[in-house]
Amino acid sequence: MNALLYYLNDIFAKAGGSLSPDLQAIIIGVVKAVFTAVGMALIDRLGRRTLLLIGSAGMGACLVVAGLAMSGLLPGWIVLPALIGFIAFFAPSTGAVIWVYISEVFPTSVRSRGSAIGASTHWGFDAVIAAAFPAIAAVSGGLPFFFFAAMMAAQFCLVLFYFPETKGVPLEEMERRLGVSKD
């Protein structure tokens, strides 16, 4: 997500289209704000796991479309709708859920350390991916998008097979379900 945000103007300039890269980046920002609010409204209704699954599938599909457009296999103007779709799936799912999820899944005794490690890992990989993005995009405009789409497929599988739902589950019960309770 952040690598795309950091390089939005470059992405849109390369894709072309009738709108300026700056205007397209503003549209993405507005969509992100709106759909973050949607995520806040849905997180306790649909659950964390459901939002992550829907988001992973939607983001993956949108990234494939953006990758095809950046590779010249689809018209360049499709990048904007593809990235709007990506943001619309990202913001209410991974964008909102991950910060809630890491505070709910760690046992109480290590919650602060686990959350700190989770957040640090997130931002560390963000820096690595953002630093690598321009070099990879220089090889092929679509390659980063296809890589990110593959990561969304991996996230979908990881969530489907390993992530427990934490919605409505008391923290102590979550510890018991994960087998770390002292009871």
* Closest C-alpha to 49, from 179, 162, 178: 162
So what's the pLDDT on residue 181? 61
**Number of Cα atoms under 13 Å in the Cβ half of residue 86:** 26
For 101: left if phi > 0, alpha if psi spans -120 to 50, otherwise beta; the answer is alpha
Alpha-carbon dihedral angle through residues 104, 108, 155, 81, given to the nearest 10 degrees = 40
Report the chain's terminal Cα–Cα distance, integer Å: 40
d(CA 131, CA 28): 21
What does each of the 183 residues of the chain score in pLDDT, given as a tens digit?
Answer: 888 888 888 888 889 878 898 898 899 999 999 999 999 999 999 999 999 999 999 999 999 999 999 999 999 999 999 999 999 999 999 999 988 888 888 888 888 898 999 899 999 999 999 999 999 999 999 999 999 999 999 999 999 999 888 888 887 787 787 777 665
d(CA 111, CA 155): 23
Question: What CATH code would you report for 2-101+141-161?
Answer: 1.20.1250.20
Please state the separation of Cα 22 from the chain's center in Å: 22
Per the structure block, which two tokens stand in for 105? 């899944």
DSSP 8-state symbol, 78: G
Q: Which ranges of 106-142 would DSSP assign to H, the alpha helix? A: 111-139
d(CA 179, CA 181): 6
Query: Residue with structure tokens 């990989």?
Result: 125
Return the number of other C-beta atoms located less than 10 Å from residue 37's C-beta: 13
d(CA 15, CA 164): 39
